[in-house]
Amino acid sequence: MALLKTLIISCALFAVIDCALVPAVPVNTDFDPHPQYAYAYNVQDAITGDSKSQQEVRDGDVVKGSYSVVDADGSLRTVFYTADPINGFNAVVQRGPVPVPVVAAAPRPVVPAAPFLG
């Protein structure tokens, strides 16, 4: 019986010492109850052919955005998405031709008019 008491006391003492050695976990008190952000990017690399873009906006628990990428077959894939706590994540995918960039005509040089000799 004395051995059992010694064993119980030793285990209890070890548990107290062991708990004292565990560092306290810091608690993050910086919490934004209504987070908001907006970002966007666009990549058009003529050398590598990389062409993609994304934009996203968050207002509280609602996130809305879209991204576009030119697929290997040359078609443009655009994904429009929303996410919120009620409806979850929803996405709509559209595929179509890559829009051809409109190149403005180069401006003509300004040539001064010849003097009137008449």
Q: Which residues contact 94 (CB under 8 A, 6 or more apart)?
A: 77, 78, 79, 80
pLDDT at 96: 87
Closest CA to 65 of 43, 46, 37: 37
Q: And the tokens for 29?
A: 């008190």
Tell me, what's the pLDDT at 41?
Answer: 94
Average pLDDT, the chain: 80
Instruction: Read off the pLDDT of residues 22-57 as tens digits, 9 standing for 90 and up.
Output: 567 777 778 888 999 999 999 988 888 888 999 999
Q: What percent of the chain has pLDDT over 90?
A: 39
Check whether 67 has a pLDDT greater than 90.
yes
* C-alpha span between 52 and 72 (Å, rounded): 12
Say how far residue 84 (Cα) sits from the centre of its chain: 16
96: its two tokens: 């179509």
Who has greater pLDDT, 82 or 13? 82
Q: Token pair for residue 107?
A: 């401006």
